[in-house]
Amino acid sequence: IGNATTSSAVLAVLLDAPVETVTGRGGGVTDEAFTRKKAVIQKAIAINAPDRNDALDVLAKVGGFDLAAMCGAFLGAGPQRAVHVLGIAQHQLVIDGLISAVAALCACRICPDVRAYLVPSHASYEIGYRLAMDEMGLEPMLLLGMRLGEGSGCPLAFEVLDAACAIINDMATF
């Protein structure tokens, strides 16, 4: 569907990294399609010339509506500590996979305070995911060997966060 492609393009620009070092196969594409994917990303970056120091410019020029919407949700929900459908458990914004990791990185570049509210759910196998996490100084809470995105790690992370908050808030002490 292309969202890993736009995410890789945004990440390549934000990290000032070669496309090959941030781009994964995504949904199991053939070697030919993978080569074409990287070429498309390089061409999009060359044609649109986004300013790597301006995350909004990068989103506008090589991102997608999905990335822009998630970035906006992270920006709006983080510092405001408002509940939002994207994935907040106990005032934490849960990141799930490459696309939301890149959106979170964009949000952090726009407003560094957002980083304090971010919780990565599970480690993605996408090559760019690890780079985005490293750039934000974050570690995923779950290492389950999952090769899925689509919000699959968030429900698991919500349960872990809810349990941790219940222990902190409701557990009797001596």
- Catalytic positions are 150
Q: What's the CA gap between 143 and 122, in Å, rounded?
A: 6
The contacts found for 29-37 with CB under 8 angstroms, 24 or more apart, are 37/5, 37/8
Given a contact cutoff of 8 angstroms between Cβ atoms, the answer to whether 5 and 33 are in contact is no
Q: Scanning the structure block, which residue is given the tokens 């890993």?
A: 4
Q: What's the CA gap between 12 and 131, in Å, rounded?
A: 10
Report DSSP letters for 32-51, one per residue: HHHHHHHHHHHHHHHHH---
